[in-house]
Amino acid sequence: SFHKSKGQHILKNPLLVDSIVQKSGIKSTDVILEIGPGTGNLTKKLLEVGKRVIAVEIDARMVLELQRRFQGTPLSSRLQVIQGDVLKTELPYFDICVANIPYQISSPLTFKLLKHQPAFRCAIIMFQREFAMRLVAQPGDKLYCRLTVNTQLLSRVSHLLKVGRNNFRPPPKVDSSVVRLEPRKPPFEVNQNEWDGFLRICFNRKNKTLGSIFRQKSVINLLEKNYKTLQALNLAPAQQGALEDIDDVMDFSDEDIEMNDDGVDDGMEVEDGNAEGEVSEFKKKVLSVLMKAGFEGERSSKLKLQQFLDLLSEFNKDGVHFS
Ligand code: SAM
């Protein structure tokens, strides 16, 4: 029997497996990373076209079944199985990743892969349909969110294939999509902590204007605290475009995603300003950056990746930092 908690939905349609492998563009020299091989329906085809397959599988029963399936066949010498949780496993070198994953690890796995070095050529991954549509969303689309912008900062994303739930046994509750992620080479030069702090604020209310978001007392207070800390240290934060802290910052819980779907004014914001209604010097500075750069009336739901990068860099130039 299958483990629901491990997201075990086996691909039972061989034509679909063929189509995934074909669209992956695997070369005969490729080392392939497969995540969650299960009973090995995809693994078998991957072994036939690639040089080697390294498969990471959490379930000991599946590992056994997989080994039994290829034992004594010529394919077995090119298959390496690692038993373990892919999120806790140090990944080996690979050229390409192909995976039909358990959907509950979609976010952390995506960012684990995208920060992996050396960068691989591409990853072909089955996601829950809505998650996939968030990854490929464009500015102005309903599903455009922080996850979209963060993923597209690190990779080029494209939708490959719609997959109905009946291609799996047992069928999951939702439809799926196969997506291709291609790490950007070279990557954008941004400090990941700055970027993450910045996007969290911008997408805190994605349909509000940035002008109204950056007038919030909580936002101004946070930025002013960073500003004072940095002034005290008389030191700008390291700008090495470091990816090492990405594990901590790239946590997309479902809650984060829900929070982005905001269209209504919940009246919760408090504008910054002291008792006399005066606007602090720091707040003026923040708002003037926003106005000078022309973003005051813009909304995150409609901003392009490059515009986020530009705005962050304008803030940083004026000493406004997000981490
Ligand atoms: N690839 C197979 C197929 O397409 O038929 C099975 C896919 S099934 C959706 C997901 C597989 O991932 C299961 O075999 C499950 O045991 C495994 N799995 C679940 N969580 C995992 C984790 N954290 N690390 C590695 N494998 C995991």
Instruction: Tell me how far the alpha carbon of residue 126 lies from the centroid of ligand 1, in angstroms.
Output: 11
Instruction: Tell me how far the alpha carbon of residue 86 lies from the centroid of ligand 1, in angstroms.
Output: 10
CB 92 within 8 A of CB 54: yes
Instruction: Tell me how far the alpha carbon of residue 119 lies from the centroid of ligand 1, in angstroms.
Output: 23
Considering only CA atoms, which residue is closest to atom 21 of ligand 1?
58
The Cα 41–Cα 58 span in angstroms is 17
How would residue 205 be classed by pLDDT, with cut points 50, 70 and 90?
confident
Q: What is the mean pLDDT of residues 88-102?
A: 97
Instruction: Tell me how far the alpha carbon of residue 62 lies from the centroid of ligand 1, in angstroms.
Output: 9
Q: What is the mean pLDDT of residues 187-200?
A: 95
Ramachandran bin of 315, using left for φ above 0, alpha for ψ from -120 to 50, beta for the remaining angles = alpha
How would residue 274 be classed by pLDDT, with cut points 50, 70 and 90?
low
Q: What is the mean pLDDT of residues 130-154?
A: 98
At residue 196, the pLDDT reads 96
Instruction: Tell me how far the alpha carbon of residue 79 lies from the centroid of ligand 1, in angstroms.
Output: 16
Which has the minimum average pLDDT: 37-51, 213-227, 261-275?
Answer: 261-275
The Cα 174–Cα 192 span in angstroms is 33
Regarding pTM above 0.90, the answer is no
How would residue 277 be classed by pLDDT, with cut points 50, 70 and 90?
low
* Main-chain dihedrals φ then ψ at residue 300, nearest 5 degrees: -55, -30
At residue 258, the pLDDT reads 39
**What's the one-letter identity of residue 30?**
D
For 234-252, how does the pLDDT look when each residue is reduced to its tens digit (9 = 90+)? 755 554 444 444 444 444 4
* Main-chain dihedrals φ then ψ at residue 47, nearest 5 degrees: -65, -35
- ipTM passes above 0.90: yes
CB 97 within 8 A of CB 120: yes
Strand partners, 162: 177
Considering only CA atoms, which residue is closest to atom 5 of ligand 1?
10
Q: What is the mean pLDDT of residues 59-64?
A: 96
Q: What is the mean pLDDT of residues 35-52?
A: 97
Q: Residues with Cβ within 6 A of ligand 1?
A: 6-11, 35-38, 41-42, 56-59, 62, 85-87, 100-102, 105
How would residue 42 be classed by pLDDT, with cut points 50, 70 and 90?
very high
Instruction: Tell me how far the alpha carbon of residue 100 lies from the centroid of ligand 1, in angstroms.
Output: 7
Q: Which atom of ligand 1 is nearest to the CA of 56?
A: 25
In the chain, the N- to C-terminal Cα span, in Å, equals 47
* CB atoms inside a 10 Å sphere around CB 118: 9
Probe residue for ligand 1, chosen from 6, 12, 82, 112 as the CB with the greatest number of ligand atoms within 8 Å: 6
- C-alpha gyration radius of the chain: 23
- Who wins on pLDDT, 267 or 301? 301
Considering only CA atoms, which residue is closest to atom 23 of ligand 1?
85
Instruction: Tell me how far the alpha carbon of residue 34 lies from the centroid of ligand 1, in angstroms.
Output: 9
For 4-41, how does the pLDDT look when each residue is reduced to its tens digit (9 = 90+)? 678 899 999 999 999 999 999 999 999 999 999 999 99
**What's the one-letter identity of residue 71?**
Q
Probe residue for ligand 1, chosen from 57, 89, 169, 175 as the CB with the greatest number of ligand atoms within 8 Å: 57
Check pLDDT > 90 for residue 294.
yes
Check pLDDT > 80 for residue 176.
yes
Check pLDDT > 50 for residue 263.
no
